[in-house]
Structure 1
Amino acid sequence: MKDIILIGIDFSDTSNNALQYGVGLAKKMSADILLVWVDTTPADEDAETQHEKRLEAKHKLKALAADVEARNTGVNVRCKLRKGMVHRELAFVAKEVDARLMVIGTDGISGVEEFRIENNTFRIIAQSPCPVISVRQNYKVTDKIETLMLPIDEMKNTTDKLPLAIQLAKDIEAGIRLLNIYHPKIESLRNQTNTHSTKAAKILEKENVISDVDVPIHTADPKEVVEAAVNSAVDMLVIMTNPVMSRADIPEGILAQKVIHFSPIPILSVQAKPI
């Protein structure tokens, strides 16, 4: 049975770019594609208007699916319409079909709103039962996905993203490069980063997916993390996120959110899976 890549569609330029990226992944992974459109119209809108919107969306989805299949031999595309809140419905469908990955588009946010934990992109990522790749609207999609970058810091669960990253790298024939994030002042925390990095490098070498030397930075500032990835010319940044369940989780969620919105390159967000 083939893996399924779920792609959220709203017919905007942003989601169309995510679709193009998802198609490239599907070809590399020999996976099927499921396009999902969510009807977010208010329940009090008249029935005829709702029906017309759903009918129009259904026709557009079918046209998109037919176009993708016509342009990409061997790629199978299905469509599904849902009604409700986008993040909940995408998560429901992803769980229902046991999606391997979800691909969504994001515009990035500037100003005050970039720090809001409630934004839709991060809600989708936090609710999703599968890893999510977020792609910026202005990202130039190509067939090149050669290097993934994994940030490694002093946190004890920092290597939990390795299993999924390794499997994806093997599936798309890519390498993995480590980004070592050192605490700027506390030596004991710097040593912990070194310990985790050494462990990760050994695993990557054993799995034959290690790519080039490690990149060190001395700050966890999201902009610096993104800048290091961009300067290293990697094709994807892999970060770990957790649903916000309590006040203690909020700092980690906000940092992940900032990385997602600052990054011009695709971000793969995964939830912890210990190795």
Structure 2
Amino acid sequence: MPTDFTEVAENAIQHAANLAKAGEDEVVLLHIINSDTKSKLKKDGETQSDLENKLQNTADELNQKHGIKASYKVREGSIFSEIGDVAEEIGARLLVIGTHGVLGMQHITGSHILKVASTSPVPVIIVQSKGVNASGIKNIVFPIDSTAENKQLAVQAMNIAKMYDSTVHQFVTHSTDEFFNNTIGLNSGYATRLFNDNGVKTEITYQDPKGPGIGKQLVTYASGVNSDLISIMNEDRSLAEFFIGPENERIINNDEQIPVMVLNPMEGLFIYQSVLGKYGKE
């Protein structure tokens, strides 16, 4: 859980705490010391020890308020590499990060957040300033497209859904190509079987081929079902037909401030093994 001590980062910490409590996990706070940090510390007359005291106090508060394990790490370097490196080092299951304009010390904006997410070995949940739903993540929306990687997204949506007894809403995209539409149908069938086999509630809706852009339709639909999370893939190659470049940024920075889970495609095709409770290469 990277933090730069801004209000947006504090809100992201509360989201991380909610997830950690539901998944019986630990929250590891992370601050990356860079030139922005050093300038801010000098301006405020503070030292790295003061910064670490703030992190420890936050970890103690999370433990007392939520009853979860919490700790912190401090690294020096670039947010674009260190965050992903630390996530891999500690064996993180999720990375939660706040996005905002040019504020605080880390300057993590919509365009930068995708660069940070691209280095993560685990799914990244990106939040804005909207607070945590007291009931947790009860509704999840994810787009069904024609890519093989879409199955990976279904697995991650299922993992979150099982933590909260959520409903997963499939937003089935539309293509002008019949072959792609057939593949989209197969991916939706796979996702439906996956959810049914694992006791996850699911509903299906379809993109209006005559409607506005896919990003706008997706967010509008997510808002209509009171979604607490939207899931997308973070690679132009796998989303070239639907989420090209700026569409990802629009979804992440959506006006409804719905948190967005971003997943980097894994090597090979990963299929969920419902009997084993894990997924693996096929």
Q: Is the 8 A contact 2:110 2:252 kept in 1?
A: no
Shift of 1:67: 1.2
Amino acid at match of 2:58: L
Q: Distance in 2 between matches of 1:157 and 1:63?
A: 40
Change in CA separation of 1:67 and 1:254 when aligned onto 2, cut-off 3 Å:
same
Shift of 1:64: 0.8
Q: Distance in 2 between matches of 1:181 and 1:58?
A: 46
Match of 1:235 in 2: 228
1:208 maps onto 2:199 in alignment = yes
- Residue in structure 2 matching 1:256, options 228, 248, 261: 248
Match of 1:194 in 2: 185
Amino acid at match of 2:3: I
Change in CA separation of 1:56 and 1:179 when aligned onto 2, cut-off 3 Å:
same
Select between 7-16 and 60-69 the one with higher mean Cα deviation: 60-69
1:218 maps onto 2:176 in alignment = no
Match of 1:68 in 2: 62
- Is the partner of 1:95 in helix, strand or coil? helix
Percent identical across equivalent pairs? 23
Match of 2:274 in 1: none
Q: What are the superposed Cα offsets for residues 85-117 of structure 1, whole Å, 9 maximum, x if unpaired? A: 1121111110110100010001279xxxxxxx9
Q: Is the 8 A contact 2:124 2:263 kept in 1?
A: yes
- Give the root-mean-square deviation of aligned CA atoms: 2.9
Shift of 1:157: 3.0
Match of 1:21 in 2: 15
Q: Distance in 2 between matches of 1:51 and 1:86?
A: 23
Q: Which structure 1 segments of 5+ residues have no match?
A: 1-6, 110-116
Change in CA separation of 1:61 and 1:198 when aligned onto 2, cut-off 3 Å:
same
Q: What are the superposed Cα offsets for residues 51-105 of structure 1, whole Å, 9 maximum, x if unpaired? A: 94422211111111111111122x1111111111112111111011010001000
Shift of 1:194: 2.1
The residue correspondences of 1:105-254 to structure 2 (distance < 5 A) are 105-107=98-100, 119-183=111-175, 185-211=176-202, 213-219=203-209, 221-242=214-235, 252-254=244-246
Q: Is the 8 A contact 1:108 1:136 kept in 2?
A: no
The alignment's TM-score, normalised by the length of structure 2, stands at 0.80
Q: Distance in 1 between matches of 2:111 and 2:44?
A: 25
Shift of 1:254: 3.8
Shift of 1:49: 7.9
- Is the partner of 1:148 in helix, strand or coil? strand
Amino acid at match of 1:65: A
Amino acid at match of 2:83: L
Change in CA separation of 1:126 and 1:101 when aligned onto 2, cut-off 3 Å:
same
- Is the partner of 1:20 in helix, strand or coil? helix
Change in CA separation of 1:191 and 1:235 when aligned onto 2, cut-off 3 Å:
same
Query: What count of residue pairs does the alignment treat as equivalent?
Result: 254
Shift of 1:50: 11
- Residue in structure 2 matching 1:82, options 69, 72, 75: 75
Q: Distance in 1 between matches of 2:100 and 2:130?
A: 8
- Is the partner of 2:29 in helix, strand or coil? strand
Q: Is the 8 A contact 1:132 1:269 kept in 2?
A: yes
Match of 2:106 in 1: none
Shift of 1:19: 0.4
- Residue in structure 1 matching 2:6, options 9, 12, 16: 12
The alignment's TM-score, normalised by the length of structure 1, stands at 0.81
- Is the partner of 1:199 in helix, strand or coil? helix
Q: Distance in 2 between matches of 1:80 and 1:8?
A: 9
Select between 196-205 and 85-94 the one with higher mean Cα deviation: 196-205
- Residue in structure 2 matching 1:272, options 260, 265, 270: 265
